[in-house]
Structure 1
Amino acid sequence: MNLVLFDLDNTLLAGDSDYEWGQFLIAKGAVDGPHYEAKNKAFYEDYKTGRLDIYAFLAFALHPLATHTRAQLDAWHAEYMETHVKPMITQTARDLVNKRLDDADLVAIITATNSFVTAPIAREFGIPYLIATDPEEIDGRFTGEVAGTPCFREGKVARLERFLEAHGTHLDRLGSSWFYSDSHNDLPLLEKVQHPIAVDPDTVLHAHALAKNWPVISLRGDQHA
């Protein structure tokens, strides 16, 4: 069995879906604009520099899900897909996904961004599996809490192991495994797969990839799907 994993933000997307969802909520007046924007930017900088407190971030990011109805959130998300997400998808990214869907047994997006934000994006790419941070949901409403292990850093490895167990296999038993990512935050999982691939990497991952002779590719381009 062959496994292909894609990180989402700044890998398949030419941007960050979590950050852009926050900016969308600000534009909608769904959150306190100046305060939320400052916190959104601060957490994003912490992520890029490897200092992110994932639980503090999730308390911030998941709170708006608990303060609006699911119907309202779904309506906003449909608009957000058109205005923010689709412009971040290049044809190069779509072409790579389609190629890997044709030649791999299991293809999944694995992302720290919560599954409410990312599930429709996975569907847009036609990727059948999503491993993401799960917001807790009770009786059809989000609580603002995280359910289970956040899919971040070592948590991505733990979440992948559970995913593979559910499919009757393990990383060590796979024929081949690939992981495409832009971020040094994903080094714990990149070091576990047989074929780590750096995609438009940050400076830390770029240096690490060069030292390890990992492939470095770009999915950026002028043409959007």
Structure 2
Amino acid sequence: MDGPAQRTLLITLTGRDRPGVTSRLFRTLAEFPLTVADVEQVVIRGRLVLGVLLTYIEGADIGRVWNAAEKVASDLDMEIELSTGREKRLPRRRGRLHVTVLGNPLMPAAMSGIASRIAANGANIDRIERLASTPVTCIEMDVSGADPDALRAGLAAEAAERRVDIAVQHGGLHRRAKRLIVMDVDSTLIRGEVIELLAEHAGCLDEVAKVTEAAMRGDLDFEGSLRERVALLAGLDASAIDDVRDRLQLAAGARTMVRTLKRLDYEFAIVSGGFTQVTDALVEDLGIDYSAANTLEIEDGKLTGRVTGPVIDRAGKAAALERFAREAGVPLSQTVAIGDGANDLDMLQVAGLGVAYNAKPVVRQAADTAVNFPYLDTILFLLGISREEIEAADAADPQGSDPVEPPATK
């Protein structure tokens, strides 16, 4: 036999945010035979919106609750809305997804298009939160009831049309679990390509740059193209490597990104088709946990035009990611790979989340998501890390934070 019917009461308080609003409301509600079914709270520019969904047995004197809640609102000088209804058993919805939107600027038309795509997918936006306002505006939505693949495809088209970046990821505890970040080096962690800086010393920059571009597009086999380019460096004095190391520039936001992740107990790795003579210095400077790269052969103080050992190519990068994950004790589902060229494709596909960073078209199409802004630390927002958490890391180590730079032109 069914028990007494359940009814619901929705209380929404709106007004100036201040300490104690939530505790005052619940202290009052505690005097009545009510059950809390749901609570949501958001603060926008100092204005609080607090919603509390309660259940009660039909026939209860809900008028007393109504009067008590209105008195709380009056005492706090806030607006209140109250509505009652019958408790409904809703059909079980598909799992929750995180939709992250990056824009600079982020226009209302973009948000309208994104919301329309979500609705057309038969999904519901359960929560919207701003994660950052600088260096880009980042909005994160919790979405339920959507087919991930269909929603990702629809939002990818919207992102291209609106010139924003959109990532769709599964929700759940794994998003905040320990993760391993594995990043490409050339044109990702650092600006430019090391082999081109060396080629500049050797007087063969144009020839090397042409081969590099074709390899990054996927037009050439990476190992063959690497050996071809390194052969052009034969006879170059090894002191040129020291000069290249001194001239290296980290990508904007790189130092902040690494330091923030380390502070939040993430493991960090780099894997490069470049050279250990350069990446070793980055490992020491940034406190990186794992690294893999090729090694230039040097004899009598000069480059021989060869590399020693197996080449770290497309397959080698994926194998390195898997090895780092084993050593860190992190499942592949909790790894994040970041890269820009065709030789990063395998590791982007092996990782739990593959991020194409200012990447070639073939890479953007294959990755789980793409970031096209010139700030490496914007990738932190995809992991649910807010600007406030990043600034807390900066405050803990102000000497290590990145200098403020003017926005780059897209």
Aligned to 1:12: 189
Match of 1:14, as an amino acid?
A: R
Aligned residue number for residue 198 of structure 1: 356
Deviation at 1:164, TM superposition (A): 4.9
1:103 aligns with 2:264: yes
**Of 185-194 and 174-183, the range deviating more from structure 2:** 174-183
Task: Give me the whole-angstrom Cα distance separating, in 2, the residues matched to 1:181 and 1:63.
Answer: 25
Distance 1:207 1:158, change over 3 A: closer
Cα deviation for residue 168 of structure 1 reads 7.2
Alpha carbons of structure 1 residues 52 and 215: separation in structure 2 relative to 1, 3 Å: closer
Structure 1 unmatched ranges of 5 or more? 26-30
> CA separation of 1:146/1:90 partners in 2, compared to 1, >3 Å: closer, same or farther?
closer
Q: For 1:112 and 1:208, locate their aligned partners in 2 and report how far apart those are by CA, in whole Å.
A: 20
Q: In structure 1, how many angstroms separate the alpha carbons of the residues matched to 2:223 and 2:351?
A: 26
Give the secondary-structure state (helix, strand or coil) at the position aligned to 2:180.
strand
Residue 209 of structure 2 is aligned to residue 47 of structure 1: no
C-alpha separation between the residues in 2 aligned to 1:59 and 1:131? 17
Q: Which has the higher contact order (CA 8 A, sep 6+)?
A: 1
- Decide which of 348, 352, 373 is 1:218's aligned counterpart: 373
Secondary structure (helix, strand or coil) at the match of 1:201 reads: coil
Counterpart pick for 1:154 among 308, 311, 315: 315
Q: 1:129 aligns with which of 277, 280, 290?
A: 290
The percentage of counterpart residues that share the same residue type is: 25
Report the TM-score when normalising by structure 1. 0.72
Change in 2 beyond 3 A, CA 1:103/1:66: farther
Distance 2:224 2:358 in 1: 27
Judge conservation of contact 1:92–1:220 (CA < 8 Å) in 2: yes
1:74-109 deviation line (CA, Å, top 9, x unaligned): x433322333x12xx244121111112223453111
Letter in 1 for 2:314: R
CA, structure 1 residues 103+140, in 2 after alignment: closer, same or farther (shift >3 Å)? farther
Using structure 2 for the length normalisation, give the TM-score. Answer: 0.43
Identify if the C-alpha distance between structure 1 residues 181 and 104 changes in structure 2 by more than 3 Å, giving closer, same or farther: farther
Q: What letter matches 1:176 in structure 2?
A: Q
- Structure (1 or 2) with the greater helix fraction: 1
**In the alignment, which residue of structure 1 is the partner of 2:71?**
none
- Provide the C-alpha distance between the structure 2 equivalents of 1:106 and 1:139, rounded to a whole number of angstroms: 38
CA contact (8 A) 2:186 2:192 kept: yes
Q: Any idea what the Cα deviations from partners look like across 1:165-217, whole Å, max 9, x if unmatched?
A: 5x375x7x4572111112243121111111222212222222334xx4x2535
Counterpart Cα distance in 1 of 2:245 and 2:180: 27
> Structure 1 residues 122 and 195, CA, compared in 2 at 3 Å: closer, same or farther?
same
Structure 2 distance, partners of 1:196, 1:21, is 30
Structure 1 or 2: more strand by fraction: 2
Deviation of 1:140 (Å): 8.8
Aligned to 1:28: none
Amino acid at match of 2:197: E
* Count of residue correspondences: 202
What SS is found at the alignment partner of 1:10? coil
Counterpart residue identity of residue 186, structure 1: D
Deviation at 1:52, TM superposition (A): 2.6
Q: Separation in 2 of the partners of 1:64 and 1:121? A: 25
- How many angstroms apart in 1 are the aligned matches of 2:217 and 2:199? 19
- Does structure 2 conserve the Cα–Cα contact (< 8 Å) formed by 1:58 and 1:146? no
**Are the structure 2 counterparts of residues 142 and 164 from structure 1 closer, same or farther at C-alpha, using a change threshold of 3 Å?**
farther
Judge conservation of contact 1:116–1:135 (CA < 8 Å) in 2. yes
